[in-house]
Amino acid sequence: MKEKAKGKFLTKTTYGSIIFIDNHYLQIPVIMNNVQNTLRFQQMIESLKSRGFRLTPQRLALVALLADTTTHPTANQLYEQLRTRFPTMSRATVYKTLSTLKELGEIQELSTGDGEARYDGYQAEPHPHLMCIQCKRIIDYPMEEWPAALIAEIETASGFQILGYEMVFYGVCPVCRAAGRQTQSSDSSSFDTSTN
């Protein structure tokens, strides 16, 4: 199946995806799900190239996973997913690539309160997230536009120049509530959401 994305083609195969970028075909060992994911992949690749990063198969696969998932994985989960295909890949490659993508504004790093950050490469722009304190699932909350008036009000009241923000709402998801895993309000007060 071929899909056209701004003059670049994505071909899905049983071994992964083939992407045409910069007059070259690149095969990545991840099947991209749609054109939007392919565009996110290409944006992240262009950012890495602008910083002089080599586009190794391992790095391409990591970026493809980030662009193609909405599960907000940890660095360790990303590493484990790629390790079977790239047994010599180091954790340092994962952490360095994540750090650079975060610095470039291509991914969001989310604090979860348990010390292990989660990453969102599917949507680079800041947006609200909902995190279940029981199962640790994180979902994106759709918001067309962040209220600029609120940011201006916060800047005026605090004197801060707002450069970025992160919004994570902590609670208990419907699945955990239905399974009886809802915490009492006194239990949830011990959940540390500080990022010091």
What are the structural domains of the chain? 1-124 (1.10.10.10), 126-196 (3.30.1490.190)
**What's the pLDDT score for residue 75?**
96
pLDDT at site 32 = 55
Backbone torsions φ then ψ of 24, nearest 5 degrees: -135, 150
- Average pLDDT across the chain, whole number: 78
Global pTM reads: 0.70
53-87 exposure pattern, b = at least 16 Cβ within 10 A, e = fewer = bebebbbbbbbbbbbbbeebbbbebbbebbeeebe
pLDDT band of residue 80 (cuts 50, 70, 90) is very high
pLDDT more than 70, % of the chain: 72
Q: With bands split at pLDDT 50, 70 and 90, how would you rate the model's confidence at 26?
A: low
- Cα 15 to its chain centre, rounded Å, is 23
Average pLDDT estimate for 166-179 = 90
**Average of per-residue pLDDT across 30-37:** 61
d(CA 12, CA 95): 28
What does the pLDDT average to over 98-119? 88
- What's the distance, CA 167 to chain centroid? 14
